C-alpha cells in the first residue's frame, strides 16, 4: 500500500489511479472544483493489485468561488464489483442455456403483481425479447395472480404426476 506518512498530493493520487480511469477522474475532479458533486467509482492500482473504489468529496468554497477546504470518503467496492461481474456472467450463461435448449422461465412477483419473463420465454411466445415482460392480464394468467395472492403463506397445492 501507500507508506504511512506519504504526502497525498494530487499528482501522487493520480499515479495510483488506474491508467484507463485517469482522464475520467481528472474530468470529475475538475467539475468538483467548479462546484459540481464529486461522487465517482474508479479503479486504483495498489501493490500491483487493481481495486475498485467509490470516492465522494464535499468541497467548500468562499463567495468568490475559491476552494476553502473539504473532506471526503473512499470506499473499497472491489468485492461488490466482483460479485456483480460474477452475477452478470451467470445471467449470460443462463440466457444462453435457455436459448440453446429452447426453455424459457418466468416469475410472478406477488407483492408488485408483476411478471418477469426470460428472453427465451418471450421468444417462445413470439414476443420481442427487448420489450418489457407482459402483464398477467395480457397473458390470460390473471387467475394465477388471484390464486397466488390467496395462497400466500399457505402450502401450494401440487397436482399428482
**At residue 20, does pLDDT exceed 80?**
yes
* pLDDT given for residue 8 in this prediction: 83
What pLDDT, in 10s, does the model give residues 97-155? 999 999 999 888 888 888 899 999 999 989 999 999 988 777 766 666 565 555 555 55
* pLDDT given for residue 114 in this prediction: 85
Spacing of C-alpha 141 from chain mean position: 31
**At residue 1, does pLDDT exceed 90?**
no
**At residue 81, does pLDDT exceed 90?**
yes
* pLDDT given for residue 141 in this prediction: 65
* pLDDT given for residue 110 in this prediction: 81
Cβ atoms of residues 34 and 27 within 8 Å:
no
What pLDDT, in 10s, does the model give residues 44-78? 999 999 999 999 999 999 999 899 999 999 999 99
* pLDDT given for residue 22 in this prediction: 98
What is the average per-residue pLDDT within 20-29? Answer: 98
Query: What contacts 24+ positions apart, CB below 8 Å, involve 31-40?
Result: 32/57, 32/59, 33/59, 33/67, 35/59, 35/61, 35/65, 38/72
**Close Cβ partners of 55 (under 8 Å, ≥ 6 residues apart):** 38, 39, 40, 41, 42, 72, 73, 74, 75
DSSP string, 102-146: T---EEEETTTTEEEE-HHHHHHTT--TTSPPPPHHHHT-HHHHH
Amino acid at each position: 500500500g501507500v507508506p504511512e506518512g506519504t504526502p497525498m498530493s494530487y499528482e501522487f493520487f493520480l499515479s495510483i489511479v488506474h491508467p484507463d480511469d485517469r482522464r475520467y477522474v481528472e474530468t470529475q475532479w475538475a467539475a468538483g472544483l467548479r462546484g459540481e458533486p464529486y461522487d465517482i467509482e474508479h479503479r486504483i492500482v495498489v501493490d500491483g493489485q487493481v481495486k475498485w473504489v467509490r470516492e465522494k468529496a464535499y468541497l467548500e468554497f468562499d463567495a468568490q468561488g475559491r476552494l476553502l477546504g473539504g473532506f471526503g470518503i473512499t470506499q473499497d467496492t472491489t468485492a461488490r464489483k466482483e460479485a456483480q461481474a460474477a452475477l452478470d456472467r451467470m445471467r449470460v450463461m443462463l440466457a444462453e442455456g435457455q436459448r440453446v435448449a429452447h426453455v424459457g422461465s418466468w416469475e410472478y412477483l406477488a407483492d408488485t403483481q408483476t411478471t418477469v419473463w426470460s428472453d427465451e420465454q418471450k421468444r417462445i411466445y413470439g414476443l420481442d425479447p427487448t420489450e418489457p415482460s407482459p402483464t398477467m392480464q395480457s397473458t390470460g394468467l390473471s387467475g394465477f395472480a388471484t390464486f397466488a395472492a390467496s395462497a400466500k403463506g399457505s402450502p401450494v397445492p401440487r397436482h399428482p404426476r
